[in-house]
């Protein structure tokens, strides 16, 4: 951001600080409402199971997001030293936000690994894609944070709370470029999910000439439907959130990304926890889902795709 007019920059930073507080309060309210709405299912489908990678990922995704937004909201209600704010920015953005994204992508990769019959090639391919994305993001976030930390100032007004950074020197184009790999990789993950659905249609022995799309979809395993539905829905949800953040950055400047951070954390938290909880819900309606690895994914003798069964890690 251009720092040629320090006074205008201060007024803008003060305005954005107020908007950030409102945004954080709204995001936390949204997360808590979602949490309370799904709490009974969490108690039923998650709590009784033995500890597994899926359970750890669910609990981390669910409660870590609430914790981060709460910390941000409380922190922005107090005045802090410059030294504290410099550390706080690194922890909140590089630590907390990056951790939330890593958790979500681990869930996405494990879902695809399960969907593709625990194929090690599929796991290696999707993991490599994400490692490339992560490398670009780490470089971009590090660059942005270094400039943000350098422009941290002490709040100039008595009632101005929170950590204040003027984000001087941050180039919008470079920031946007850091987000592109995330959208590309997420799109590939979504296409891979739909490709498996297409393989199911093509692999069934149903007479396609006499079956409409609805009839074909009816033969698909309920769990595969959940995979496709959740994969598409949460891809769109997160993509829209990221695109809105990008548009705000382009048209209003880097400082305006601050109010959007709480919603990014919230979307990551909700997407990760719901994708795992919905699989457990679906499994309770006839398909055991105690873990995250598929036992099989093949066609039955009648031509319909056999039920996707998750390997249990909690069976006695």
- Is 275 part of any domain? yes
The answer to whether residue 257 scores a pLDDT higher than 80 is: no
Query: How far, CA to CA in Å, does 77 sit from each of 65, 155, 177, 266, 299?
Result: 19, 12, 32, 20, 58
- Is 79 part of any domain? yes
- Is 61 part of any domain? yes
- Is 13 part of any domain? yes
Q: Which residue has the higher pLDDT, 263 or 198?
A: 263
Q: Report the mean per-residue pLDDT for the chain.
A: 80
Supply 240's token pair.
Answer: 């829209």
Cα separation, 144 vs 148, in Å, equals: 6
The answer to whether the CB of 266 falls within 8 A of the CB of 30 is yes
**How many distinct structural domains can be found in the chain?**
1
- Is 315 part of any domain? no
The answer to whether residue 132 scores a pLDDT higher than 90 is: yes
Mean pLDDT for the stretch of residues 94-112: 89
Provide the greatest CA pair distance for the chain.
75
Mean pLDDT for the stretch of residues 84-105: 89
Cα separation, 84 vs 95, in Å, equals: 15
Supply 226's token pair.
Answer: 């959940």
Cα separation, 130 vs 127, in Å, equals: 5
The answer to whether residue 212 scores a pLDDT higher than 70 is: no
- Is 14 part of any domain? yes
Q: How many helices (H) and strands (E) does the chain have?
A: 9, 4
In CATH, what number is assigned to the domain containing residue 106? 1.20.1070
The predicted pLDDT at position 15 comes to 85
Supply 106's token pair.
Answer: 């681990």
Full domain range(s) for residue 69: 6-310
- Is 227 part of any domain? yes
């Amino acid at each position: 951001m251009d720092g040629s007019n320090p006074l205008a920059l201060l007024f803008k930073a003060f305005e954005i600080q107020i908007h950030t507080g409102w945004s954080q309060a709204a995001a936390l309210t949204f997360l808590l409402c979602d949490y309370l709405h799904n709490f009974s299912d969490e108690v039923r489908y998650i709590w009784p199971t033995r500890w597994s990678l899926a359970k750890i990922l669910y609990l981390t995704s669910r409660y870590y997001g609430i914790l981060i937004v709460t910390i941000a909201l409380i922190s922005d209600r107090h005045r802090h030293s410059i030294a504290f704010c410099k550390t706080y920015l690194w922890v909140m953005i590089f630590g907390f936000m990056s951790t939330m994204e890593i958790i979500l992508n681990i869930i996405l990769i494990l879902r695809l690994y399960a969907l593709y019959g625990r194929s090690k090639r599929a796991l290696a391919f999707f993991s490599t894609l994400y490692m490339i994305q992560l490398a670009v993001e780490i470089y971009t976030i590090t660059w942005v944070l270094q400039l943000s930390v350098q422009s941290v100032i002490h709040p100039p007004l008595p009632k101005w709370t929170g950590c204040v950074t003027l984000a001087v020197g941050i180039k919008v184009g470079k920031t946007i470029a850091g987000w592109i790999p995330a959208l590309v990789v997420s799109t590939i993950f979504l296409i891979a999910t739909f490709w498996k659905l297409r393989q199911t249609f093509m692999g069934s022995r149903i007479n396609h000439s006499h079956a409409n799309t609805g009839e074909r979809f009816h033969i698909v395993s309920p769990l595969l439907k959940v995979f496709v539905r959740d994969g598409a829905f949460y891809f769109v949800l997160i993509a829209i959130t990221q695109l809105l953040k990008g548009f705000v950055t382009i048209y209003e400047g880097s400082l305006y990304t601050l109010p959007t951070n709480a919603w990014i954390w919230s979307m990551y938290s909700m997407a990760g926890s719901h994708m795992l909880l919905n699989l457990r819900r679906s499994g309770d309606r006839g398909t055991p889902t105690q873990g995250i690895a598929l036992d099989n994914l093949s066609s039955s003798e009648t031509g319909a795709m056999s039920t996707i069964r998750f390997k249990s890690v909690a069976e006695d």
